[in-house]
Amino acid sequence: MQRRSFIQHLATLGAMGALPMGVTRALAAKTIPAVSVEKLPALEGDLTLYLGRGEGGLYEDVLNAIRKRNPKLNLNVRRGPTAALANAIVAEAKAGIRRADVFWAVDSGAIGVVSEAGLAHQLPDELTHQLKAGFQYKNWTPITGRLRTLPFNTQRLTAQQIPNNLKDLADSDLTIGWAPSYASFQSFVTAMRLLEGDKATAAWLQKMNQRTKSYAGELGVVMAVERGEVDVGFANHYYTLRLKSGKPDANIDLAFTHNDAGCLVNASGIVALNNNDTAINFIRYLLTQEAQSYLSSEAYEIPLVNGVLPPKGLPQIDSLSPPDVDLVKLADLRPTLKLMRDVGVL
């Protein structure tokens, strides 16, 4: 669905009713198809959203469409870095203040900070069961996924020439780019620590650090791969897909590791800090077929609800083999940052 058509559709729909018939039967099976926005109730009253910086304009388009569709909703938005907003929510709670009703974070680690502080309200089952298996949580819900990938230069390599695990990649003779100061890379290293342990992760980082080239961000990594500065890189999937959408003949494609942190599926997500109907129903809007399709086609993020196609150029998640990691456990970056500094990566 194109950007304009989604906004118009969401904003101009008529009166909405209750959740669709059949929810009870689907709930019994622990899976519910994504709901159309046409089936949701109208939003009314005051709602304050803390919005982590992410796909700025695209997220804003969704919020503006929700506002236009719901003229009786007074939606106030505070924007800022995701980690800073998570810390602000915890600090406000300690001071006896609740300013935010919902928190939309661009990574699950920030959700973990809020959840571990006991500030997240449990969500209704029929809401969380719209999510794919493995992404159903009681007190928060992922919105879209971002997959760790290995972008590679297609003039130098084929996908079959790239090792499908991190250990063999470190032992290869490929030139590699990474962005160790980037939050997504640090979440990846945190996942590796959880899966492999600190000792193995430190050894891998030390070996890799001898032969990698560092960049300020993962867009820089992807562009360096396409230019041929390095053979392969570490980056979230959407940087490559966005580059290829603007430059279809780009010398770049995606490879994937199997069942290790190199193919981690992290997620943006949302948590309800207030258990009222407006907060819960606002979250429902972000999980609709229309919103999920829009974020897939325009932001190239991975829809995590049932029945919505992934962005063009990316396989279905269930055809890959991402590791089994509780995403909220990515919240504590302190041991990761210490380890990365100790081995000289930061």
Per the annotation, binding residues are 238-239
Rounded to whole angstroms, how far apart are CA atoms 129 and 221? Answer: 36
* Among 327, 336, 3, 341, residue whose Cα is nearest residue 148: 327
3-state secondary structure of 243: helix
Q: Which residues are annotated binding-site positions for Fe cation?
A: 238-239
> Which DSSP category does 248 fall into?
T
Helix (H) or strand (E) holding 87: helix 82-94
Rounded to whole angstroms, how far apart are CA atoms 189 and 64? Answer: 35
* Among 53, 80, 75, 72, residue whose Cα is nearest residue 63: 75
Cα dihedral 219, 221, 225, 227, rounded to 10, equals 70
Please tell me the number of Cα atoms within 13 Å of 194 on its side-chain side: 21
Chain position carrying tokens 């079959």: 160
Rounded to whole angstroms, how far apart are CA atoms 30 and 117? Answer: 28
